[in-house]
Amino acid sequence: MAGLFSKLKDKLGKTRKGFIEKVEGIFTGAGKIDEDLYEELEEVLIQSDVGVNTTLEIIEMLRKSVKEKKISDPVLLKDEMKEQITLLLGEENPLHFAEKEPTVYLIVGVNGVGKTTTIGKLAKSLQSEGKSVLLAAGDTFRAAASEQLEIWGQRSGVGVIRQSEGADPAAVAYDALQAVKSRNIDVLLIDTAGRLHNKVNLMKELSKIKKVIEREVPSGPHEVLLVLDATTGQNAIQQVKLFQEAVDVTGIILTKLDGTAKGGVVLGIQREAKVPVKLIGIGEGLDDLRPFVPQEFADALFA
Amino acid sequence: MAMFEGLSEKLQATFKRLRGKGKLTEADVTEAMREVRVALLEADVNFKVVKDLVAKIKERAVGHEVMESLTPGQQVIKIVHEEIINLMGANESKLEISPKPPTVIMLVGLQGAGKTTHGAKLAHMLKKQGKQPVLAACDIYRPAAIKQLQVLGEQIKVPVFSLGQDSPVKIAQESIEFARKNGNDTLIIDTAGRLHINEELMDELTNIKEKVEPHEILLVVDAMTGQDAVNVAEAFNQQLGLNGVILSKLDGDTRGGAALSVKAVTGCPIKFAGVGEKIDALEVFHPDRMASRILGMGDVLTLIEKAQQNFDEKKAKEMEEKIRKQEISLEDFLDQIKQLRNMGPLSSVLEMIPGMGKQLKDVQIDENEFNKAEAIIQSMTPEERKKPLVIKDSRKKRIARGSGTTIQDVGKLLKQYEQTKKMMKQLSGMPGMGGGGASSAPKGSKKGKKGKKGGQGKKSPFKLPFPF
């Protein structure tokens, strides 16, 4: 935990600190717990994209426990709040691996959230755990997406299965599935083109890819990971719901947490869709992908 | 769209309580403003922007303006709408064109906002307007970013200037020379995505700016951005002094509150909006229409423009006549499907119709359904198309076989046709396309004011020229 914070601090410099100090001031500056303090907390949560309804719920829970536990010190209130949020986020939820067959992960998300970059980082991290990894360049739509994945593959010395631009992504997935089986590879990461969740046909294309996986590796896919940009607002909830409908998302990867966005919408997601956050992205380096730790995330909201 | 509780729905629910009252007390307004605040926040308008906006609306609402009006609820909706337009700006703003070419446009923004894609889209749009653009590839960091721009440039036949992984400042500088030498009148500089708090990379942008002195520095912002939009826009604006904004991914189902936030903190106009994955899916941004979108009032003006571009005028007239007389046949139905599909993805067309957001709340638009419908109608005899009532079981069987569908599909289509006819009846009875109800009053008054701009005379309200 300390490691992550020092790393974040390194990266963020002065500006973020400016944001953080404001929040800190709420707890230390206030002498007692009153309506103003609750209102300020409400503001912090809303400005972190937690969403109005979820925020009101959290504040309500907080009021209740303040009453029950007879808390009067604003500093203790802060800890109580973090606890509530940690609770809402659930347990730590590591990636799932296959027992016998090769492990297959399908990576999905809207445009520009960082799917390809995340796959590059994930490949590296799996490899450093001693696993053999193969990548499938399923984004056959965006110009040069396959090239982008290939460069990531080269960086960590991982093979990439690709076809030409405009090819059927399900066919790319099929090729890659055959390759992992014949080459005895541990983990296959399938990249897909970014797509807005309200485009029905594109979502159907994803279901098709998933069906191919299910046919070729019956226990798979072992994870369907939705990559979510931490700067996204309340629309993220809609994204989760519709991707879940199409391909049964099993986990979320929250990217771009190294900016000033807090990604608070994942709290709303836990309330409405119950998809666990598994990993977070905190930079562009190869090892900037970390497991999601609820406690840490709660701390970062009120750092 | 589906399952999304639109802002206007929320506001309408709120104002239902206000409706019918003769006068508004301050308590009434306070209650309504609470709902307005929640709705705007849920639409991702920034917290502080909402605060200011709500204060302004409240001030006006409690004033005599409302007290004197007969329907206070409607008046409040109108004020909300007007204040949002005030903030968004009423008119579209154009690109600054330099008298001494090349006009230099620089695109900046966070990672994944869509700079590269929108650079190409913008080049394509300018080319269609008779300009000779060139793209400069200054994103030397993201793997294959240069290649991406080159592929896109090839698609739209616009040259791409690149020096590989050389310094972005140098690439930008030399791209101007390149443009001058090759007679390109517009230069679009693509830059790498960066965090607004990354000092080193932000300084790089300043260096590029100082060297090339762009006429336009445009911030590309994802329409789905949440509260952080203000921090990002503020930081880029402070560092560079922005001239405008491109709002990307507006074809999603987000309300796009970020548009309001960005405009409020930078004062910069939003000049363009990205509305799809195709290279021509870039539109001039109409702030007044965006206000309507945020309020869920539908984007009638854009729809009319699209319809005018794509619809065969004579056919549309004939159709209007038929709608009026409620005598459309399946043949017309087929015709309409074809014309409608020419207008672009159906979901985006439908979203522009006022009231449709609500009516189609749980309906998923599946383009394949239309392939099916076309096949079914094409398997009918001319007589059947004219008088669908004659289609009984044995004919249904034949049609299903002929079109490769099932009897249920045929039955479903016939039912849809009947429903459409019914809907036509309702539509032709309406004074306009406003969808009736309380919100039509402020909309009507707005239409009156803007009549000259939208080309909407009072006498010829826009009739829906297709069966939906």
Residue A26 sits in a domain of what CATH number?
1.20.120.140
Question: Tell me, what CATH number does B54's domain have?
Answer: 1.20.120.140
pLDDT, tens digit, 9 for 90 and up, residues B326-368: 667 888 778 777 766 666 555 555 655 544 544 444 455 566 7
The residue of chain A with its CA nearest to that of B197 is A15
Domain carrying residue A274: 103-294
B115 shares a domain with B71: no
- Report the residue from B144, B150, B364 with minimal CB separation from A151: B144
Q: In whole angstroms, what is the distance from residue B313 CA to residue B320 CA?
A: 10
Among B242, B259, B291, residue at a domain's last position: B291
| pLDDT reading at A180 higher than 80 | yes
In this structure, are B259 and B117 located in the same domain? Answer: yes
Check whether residue A78 and residue A195 sit in a common domain.
Answer: no
From the candidates B54, B222, B363, which should be mutated to test the interface with A, based on the most A CB atoms within 10 A? B222
Report helix, strand or coil for A32.
Answer: coil
Task: For A25-34, write each residue's pLDDT tens digit.
Answer: 666 665 678 8
Q: How far apart (Å, rounded) are the C-alpha atoms in residues B308 and B71?
A: 36
Alpha-carbon distance of B3 to A238, in angstroms, equals 8
> Quick one: pLDDT at residue B371?
81
Residue B181's contacts (CB-CB under 8 Å, 6 or more residues apart) are none
- Region B59-76: mean pLDDT is 62
Q: Which of B235, B268, B291 is the last residue of a domain?
A: B291
Backbone dihedral angles phi then psi of residue B143, each to the nearest 5 degrees? -55, 130
Closest chain B residue to A200 measured between Cα atoms? B366
Q: Which of B148-157, B261-270, B286-295 has the lowest mean pLDDT?
A: B286-295
- Which residue(s) pair with B282 in the sheet? B274
Number of domains making up chain B: 3
Residues A133, A272 within the same domain: yes
Provide the shortest C-alpha distance from residue A168 to chain B (in Å).
Answer: 17
pLDDT of residue B75: 67
Type of residue found at B263 = K
More confident residue, A110 or B322: A110
Neighbours of A255 (CB within 10 A): 30
- In B9-48, the residues whose Cβ lies within 8 Å of chain A are 38, 41-44, 46-47
Closest approach of chain B CAs to the CA of A160, in angstroms? 15
Phi-psi region of A225 (alpha: psi -120 to 50; beta: other; left: phi over 0): beta
Is B203 part of the contact surface with chain A (CB cutoff 8 Å)? no
Nearest to A116 by CA among A54, A60, A2, A193: A193
| Span A277-303, average pLDDT | 89
- Check whether B194 has a pLDDT greater than 50: yes
ipTM of the complex in this document: 0.90
Residue A98 resides in a domain: no
The distance from CA B231 to its chain's CA centroid, rounded to whole angstroms, is: 24
Assess if residue B95 is contained within a domain.
no
Neighbours of B446 (CB within 10 A): 18
Does B311 lie in the same domain as B265? no
The pLDDT value recorded for residue B1 is 31
B462, pLDDT greater than 90: no
Residue B468 pLDDT > 50, yes or no? no
Structure token pair of residue B393: 């079981």
Range from A245-254, B48-57, B325-334 carrying the lowest mean pLDDT: B325-334
| One domain for residues B77 and B184 | no
| CATH code of the domain containing B408 | 1.10.260.30
HSE at residue A293, side-chain half, CA atoms within 13 A, is 11
Averaged pLDDT for residues A174-198: 96
Based on the fold, state whether residues B136 and B218 are members of the same structural domain: yes
Indicate the DSSP class of residue B357: H
Residue A302 resides in a domain? no
Q: Rounded to whole angstroms, how far apart are CA atoms A17 and B14?
A: 40
Q: Between the CA of residue B353 and those of B33, B463, B466, what are the distances in Å?
A: 27, 11, 12
| pLDDT value, residue B81 | 78
Given A38, A59, A89, which residue is the final one in a domain?
A: A89
CATH number assigned to the domain comprising residue A124:
3.40.50.300
- 8 Å CB contact between A59 and A38: yes
- pLDDT at site B12: 59
Distances (CA, A) of B16 to A202, B9, B76: 39, 10, 11
pLDDT of amino acid B385: 87
Region A76-104: what's the mean pLDDT? 91
| DSSP β-bridge partners for residue A138 | A192
Question: Domain containing B136: what range?
Answer: 103-291
- A299 in any annotated domain: no
